[in-house]
Structure 1
Amino acid sequence: MNLTVKTYPNNTAPKLTYDVLIENQPDGTVKATLLSLPDCQGLGNTETEAIEKLSQSLQTRLETAKIVTLEIEPPQTENPWMKFAGMFKDDPQFDEMLAYIEADRRELDAQMERYYQQLDAENETK
């Protein structure tokens, strides 16, 4: 597994955006919760005040922490169907089986064609 960690100097870090859950509390206050960090919350008398307190709380938290981007390459795995590829290449009955499937498919296609023709004929008489 290959792992890459991207870090940014403090003055060039990209602007971060967060999804915030706003909830009116039974006591009339408003709670703002950072969805990606549920323990990071702000409580206020208004939505704006709750968001401001949440922002202050997050800023305080980020002063002693840092955010890095983690890129992980997925493990290289074999397609599970590959173990079946070519398993009948030496089967002497393989061509016969393919011919049977083709004949059956042609018969089913013919049945469907007759069915649709019958439906069209019925719709024309109505």
Structure 2
Amino acid sequence: MKNIMNLSVKIAPNTNAPKLTYDVLIKSQPDNTVKATLLGLPDCEGLGNTETEAIEKLSQSLQTRLETAKIVTLEIAAPPSENPWLKIAGKYKDDPQFDKMLEDIAEYRRELDENNELR
């Protein structure tokens, strides 16, 4: 079986770039400073005397990083997978007892419904 992965990269022109939002972890340090760390990029952080200062430094650090880099959207197509139920679909189509089995299932369901209604 061959695994083929389809990969496409979308690069949008930088004419009207949308604003990006990031999740930031704010943590007080033992030396009474505050560290702001960008979640997903632990090496991108800002340190300050206040939360606001730490976030501002983190923002500056990220802006500097993005000046020499770009963000692209990566789409990877999932590999095709076979539905496991298809292997047994139609297995009993020619079985002479199949119709009787379906009737028994229907009768059992009716009995369950009646018992549930009596409760």
Judge same fold: TM > 0.5, yes or no: yes
What do the CA deviations read for 1:25-62 (whole angstroms, capped 9, x no partner)?
12211110000211111000011110111111112222
TM-score w.r.t. the length of structure 1 is 0.80
1:23 is matched with which residue: 14, 27, 34? 27
Check whether the contact 1:30–1:47 (CA below 8 A) recurs between aligned residues: yes
What do the CA deviations read for 1:100-125 (whole angstroms, capped 9, x no partner)?
112222222222233x2xxxxxxxxx
TM-score w.r.t. the length of structure 2 is 0.84
Partners of 1:46 and 1:2 in 2: how far apart?
Answer: 46
Equivalenced residues, count: 115
Between Structure 1 and Structure 2, the one with more helix by share is 1
1:99 is matched with which residue: 92, 97, 103? 103
1:79 is matched with which residue: 69, 78, 83? 83
Moved over 4 A (4+): none
Q: In percent, how many aligned pairs have the same letter? A: 75
Unpaired stretches in structure 1, ≥5 consecutive residues? 117-126
Higher Rg: 1
Bigger relative contact order, structure 1 or 2, given CA contacts below 8 A and separation 6+? Answer: 2
RMSD between superposed Cα atoms in Å = 1.7
Partners of 1:59 and 1:78 in 2: how far apart?
Answer: 45
